[in-house]
Amino acid sequence: MRSAPLVRSRALDELTAFEVGLALRGPGVVLAAAVHGVAMGLVAIVGLGTFRQVGLGAVTPAALGLLEIGLIVPTLVALVLGAAALHGEDEDGVRAALLLSGADLRDIVLAKLLAVVAVGAVVVATGSGVAALLLASSVQAGDLAPFGFIVLVTLLATTASASIGVLISALARDRVQAIVAAIAVWALLAVGIDVVVLLAGSALGAAGPLLVAAAALDPIAAARLAGLIALGADSHVLGSLGTYVSLTLGSGRAMSLLVLVIAAWTVVPVAIAAAAIGRRERS
């Protein structure tokens, strides 16, 4: 007789496979991947001359473009899809049927998250793959290491964005409200908190602990800073927060800390989302 953990593991695998397959068949996946691929390809083409001269492991407008564009599309897609993830079941009763069949609520939420992450990974892989193919003939193999790290933190930030989106989905009343909230949250994370950190750093004399606390508020900014540190950016590019973290901890530890911040933004929101959905189902 199979143990309960094994049965639940198999159920989660089957539910995840179903959700991932359903998500990847959506028309938005192709569109988002195409947009990201074109955007990353254009940045790579524009920067080819620079990359031939100084390599990829240097802070240039082209390298910064790969980092910024690399983060914009996947995180937005993940947030919006995550925000819509839990409302389809509210409309057609699928989640109720799954619960009646014995499915675990945590598995349902986790499967939705993994499906959104899979879509985000396809978008990231498409854009990064196009850029890598264009850069392969113009840069040394050793220069691709910073690019590889940028792809890694982009995947992590996309996963965190998906988790935040699922949390928004769990808290919103309907799909429209969830999507609008997701776009607003993405704008705040992508731009707004950077402005707050900049103003706080100037007003408070770059007070270290407060700036580090600000980094914990934003997984997208944390991914951007980690990428900049990997590129060897100086204080003019890193800003008050990046400079403080890098000088205090060293580049390696600073990047590790920022990766942990992003990971926390993946685990905590989805746990809260599962709890919120659980309370709603019991009420």
What is the SS3 assignment for 232? Answer: coil
| pLDDT higher than threshold 60 for residue 92 | no
* 181 pLDDT more than 70: yes
Q: What is the pLDDT of residues 117-165, one digit of tens each?
A: 999 999 999 999 998 888 877 767 666 777 888 899 899 999 999 999 9
Kindly give the residue spans of alpha helices, DSSP state H, lying in 204-250.
208-215, 219-230, 235-249
Residue matched to tokens 């925000």: 83
Residue 265 zone, left/alpha/beta (φ > 0; ψ -120 to 50; rest): alpha
pLDDT in tens, 211-227: 555 556 688 888 888 88
Q: What's this model's pTM, rounded to 2 decimal places?
A: 0.83
What is the pLDDT averaged over residues 191-206? 56
Read off the tokens for 90. 């509210």
Is the backbone of residue 178 left (phi > 0), alpha (psi -120 to 50) or beta?
A: alpha
pLDDT band at 1 (very low <50, low <70, confident <90, very high): very low
Using alpha carbons only, how large is the chain's radius of gyration in Å? 20
- pLDDT per residue over 25-60, tens digit each? 877 888 999 999 999 999 888 877 776 766 665 666
Q: What is the band of 88 on the pLDDT scale with cuts at 50, 70, 90?
A: low
Question: 166, 113 in Cβ contact below 8 A?
Answer: yes
Structure confidence at residue 283 as a pLDDT band (50, 70, 90)? low
Q: Which contacts of 178-185 are long-range, i.e. CB under 8 A and separated by 24 or more positions?
A: 178/83, 178/84, 178/87, 179/80, 179/83, 179/84, 181/83, 182/79, 182/80, 182/82, 182/83, 182/84, 183/76, 183/79, 183/80, 185/79
- Cβ–Cβ under 8 Å, residues 266 and 160: yes
**Residues whose CB is less than 8 angstroms from the CB of residue 230 and which lie 6 or more positions away in sequence, other chains included:** 146, 149, 150, 153, 251, 255
Interhelix angle 235-249/193-203, nearest 10 degrees? 80
C-beta of residue 60 within 8 angstroms of C-beta of residue 138: no
Q: What is the pLDDT of residue 247?
A: 67
Token pair 């951007």 is found at: 224
pLDDT digits (tens, 9 = 90+) for 71-85: 999 999 999 999 988
What pLDDT, on a 0 to 100 scale, did the predictor assign at position 164?
A: 95
d(CA 154, CA 73): 10
Tell me the HSE value of 201 on the side-chain side, using a 13 A CA sphere.
22
